[in-house]
Amino acid sequence: MSLAFLLIAFLTVATAAVAMALRNLVRSALLLGASWAGVAAFYLWAGAEFLAFAQVLVYVGAISMVVLFAVLLTRPSRDEGAVSPASAGRLLPALIAGGSVLGVLVGAIVGSPLRTAAKPPLAFTVRELGLQLMGPHAASLVVVGALLTVALLGAVVIAAPGRPGDREDPR
């Protein structure tokens, strides 16, 4: 078990936890970007280089940008101040629920005898991945592409301002 893995895991979980606790939304978003980069580092460690690349591209690059935009677009008016992290009424049940789930998961994992492969894994190159994607999984690829297109179109429709006649708060 390498030190690298432990470091990656710790940083990832820690940045995520801090991000979830911060008052400032912009900082939260940036820290989450760091956390996603940590996940990418984990993929790299695990030998899935292409996935690491995709993770950086999609999460660190695209989603955190979109999140930042959303944060800026939906910034609350000044008198409201920063968003309170959590009212005590919600924090306690959240901790209880999260803790119990964590407990169950850890208990299950530790209690399971998991067999691992004896020999070190072969390299899974991008070339093989491409062959898989274009060969047996081509249909799935097309479906995912269609899903993405539809989702993005839908997102545009949802986010676009409605017609003037719609019942809506004036800006």
- Closest distance between other proteins and the C-beta of residue 163, in Å? 13
- What is the Cα 81 distance to its own chain's centre? 27
Q: Is 29 helix (H, G, I), strand (E, B) or coil?
A: helix
Nearer to other proteins, 77 or 163 (CB): 77
Alpha helices in the chain (DSSP H): 3-21, 25-46, 49-55, 64-73, 88-111, 126-134, 138-159
The contacts of residue 55 (CB under 8 Å, 6+ apart) are: 36, 39, 40, 43
Question: Rounded to the nearest whole angstrom, what is the least distance from the CB of residue 8 to other proteins in the complex?
Answer: 8
Task: Indicate the residue among 80 and 163 with the shorter CB distance to other proteins.
Answer: 80
Contact between 124 and 43 under an 8 Å Cβ cutoff? The reply is: no
What is the three-class DSSP state of 136? coil
> Least CB distance from residue 64 to other proteins, whole Å?
9
Q: Which is nearer to other proteins, 84 or 164 (CB)?
A: 84
Min CB(91)–other proteins separation in Å: 5
In angstroms, what is the minimal distance from the CB of 165 to other proteins? 15
Residue 25's CB: how many other CB atoms inside 10 A? 19
